[in-house]
Structure 1
């Protein structure tokens, strides 16, 4: 039965022959969510570990199309959400890392979708599943982002017994970030969810500080050396920006309690359109990322800043479609 299923997966392009011999791999699964916490962490791993696409995971008819995109008056081809897996071959005895990037969570059949992913992981010798997520709290943007965690068994909880980690004692983890680990538990595969803390009032705003917190713990557990300077700088910039917004809102609130405010504070307007300078910068960053994938996260940060990453997501992920032998792996 297993051999038949694997054969079907090969026909669907799931498995590449040179990827069959993996070294004690861990799989990290991420989907869109609050603060882009999970996706940003996944993309950072892909860029800094110089990953390449290993396989594409079929949605099995679970996704549908809700609208048609228009560009310059022309209806564009329909696009179903894609789910892809990217691989880092660990060097010098280090374990391999697989990152699963889902553009969207299926609206139905979540358990079946996760069963297929867990079966795929087992067929490839995956020893442990990780999901990343956000934990929205009352924290101020300039406070330290704490890390919360849950695991499928008490042995893993002991590994998480660290001063910086707070174990979730009860509650639930919504979406596939939680369902995947529930299915992993059902199938006897160890799994951990790492949740980075972020302000709930900015749930729709990228919050890389939480991604950084999650990634630092994951890298330590996986014994991977990574340079977090770029992500830390991005986190600091957004922290100050959101801190300024909170300060202005508080000042206006205090002023309104005593008198009418002189000037109404407005949240930043949504970005509209691309300037020629922005387009040139994006193309330059794409070219740099093609030559060196470690530059890809800078590209993603710029696309996030302009709020246009969704428009470029497929093109961005195509950068990782093939192995890049440039010695940049760590």
Structure 2
């Protein structure tokens, strides 16, 4: 791994790991936490033997070199000296060698003195988008179940946690490390759409467990806006289904309506381009404003294009 020199001994550190998944629940929570706490880039681990190249970019007829997904660690030093935090943000999960990858993550965590590993994920249920998202928890040590119940979290009684959200904690358990998975509830019917309410619920649960203050006001507003949109869409569908029996072509139309619209070639107006540059400048001065920038890039469907520049905001330039 490419470590940044001069990392001081961490104070009772915890690690959080997030990857893309249903509703982008974990990834949204991770990015929000990283931005609001003003974290700094710590290291990167993107082994080419585990990550393949799935596509190459074409711009004005010219093919660019393919890029492998990256996995980057960010650090926050707790001013209260309770728990320093390290966040692993992965752009993708490896297609193969998942357990080997996780073992290396756990070894790295132990080298940093990490005492506990968290993963943030989604739990798809039949919930209505206007209902509150519950948080389900699973832990590597039965003793930690008491802590989950004290914080009024649902216990995941049985089932499985797919992908690295579960495998990483299994690898941690093998090494005797404490691990906790927090799964935010979201409607299964909208599993392909962002659902920030579940990310908010996960962060609120983590705040209770860690005692770390996190300003979630922006995520609250984002959750309300998405709740309204999905509620209106669901009401329209239920009304249509109640009026007459749904035909196959109507079902296909409904499923298509759930997919996020992706423009073929996103273009920026001069005003939008100026707005992005202003937000980058603000975030460079105050990292806690970075999530506003991310929201704007997501709205314009341009985050992938600006992702490296966005994450550069969190490099230690001191």
Q: What is the distance in 2 between the residues matched to 1:40 and 1:310?
A: 14
CA deviation map 1:206-255 (0-9, x unaligned): 11100000001111211111111111000000000111110111122223
2:24 equivalent to 1:36: yes
Residue number in structure 2 paired with 1:289: 283
Native 8 Å contact 1:146 1:164 kept in 2: no
Residues 237, 258 of structure 1: alpha-carbon distance in 2 compared, 3 angstrom cutoff: closer
Identify which of 298, 303, 309 aligns with 1:304: 298
Q: What is the distance in 1 between the residues matched to 2:317 and 2:7?
A: 11
2:239 equivalent to 1:248: no
2:159 equivalent to 1:171: yes
- Map residues 87-166 of structure 1 onto 2, 5 A cutoff: 87-162=75-150, 164-166=152-154
Q: What is the distance in 1 between the residues matched to 2:172 and 2:99?
A: 10
Q: Unaligned 5+ residue runs, structure 2?
A: none
Identify which of 175, 188, 213 aligns with 1:225: 213
Native 8 Å contact 2:151 2:209 kept in 1: no
Residues 234, 105 of structure 1: alpha-carbon distance in 2 compared, 3 angstrom cutoff: same
2:261 equivalent to 1:270: yes
| Paired residues, number | 309
Q: What is the distance in 1 between the residues matched to 2:197 and 2:172?
A: 28
Native 8 Å contact 1:147 1:197 kept in 2: yes
Q: What is the distance in 2 between the residues matched to 1:256 and 1:145?
A: 31
2:40 equivalent to 1:52: yes
Shift of residue 93 of structure 1?
2.2
CA deviation map 1:242-295 (0-9, x unaligned): 111101111222233499x9xx87727714223303333222212211111111
Native 8 Å contact 1:84 1:100 kept in 2: yes
Q: What is the distance in 2 between the residues matched to 1:45 and 1:119?
A: 24
Q: Could you say what secondary structure the match of 1:161 adopts?
A: helix
Q: What is the distance in 2 between the residues matched to 1:65 and 1:226?
A: 36
Q: What is the distance in 2 between the residues matched to 1:258 and 1:271?
A: 27
Q: What is the distance in 1 between the residues matched to 2:286 and 2:21?
A: 28
Q: Could you say what secondary structure the match of 1:219 adopts?
A: helix
Q: What is the distance in 2 between the residues matched to 1:17 and 1:319?
A: 18
Residue number in structure 2 paired with 1:185: 173
Residue number in structure 1 paired with 2:11: 23
Native 8 Å contact 2:48 2:68 kept in 1: no
Q: What is the distance in 1 between the residues matched to 2:287 and 2:65?
A: 28
Residues 126, 258 of structure 1: alpha-carbon distance in 2 compared, 3 angstrom cutoff: closer
**What's the TM-score, normalizing by structure 1?**
0.89
**What's the TM-score, normalizing by structure 2?**
0.92
Shift of residue 323 of structure 1?
5.6
Native 8 Å contact 2:99 2:171 kept in 1: yes
Q: Could you say what secondary structure the match of 1:98 adopts?
A: strand
Shift of residue 74 of structure 1?
1.7
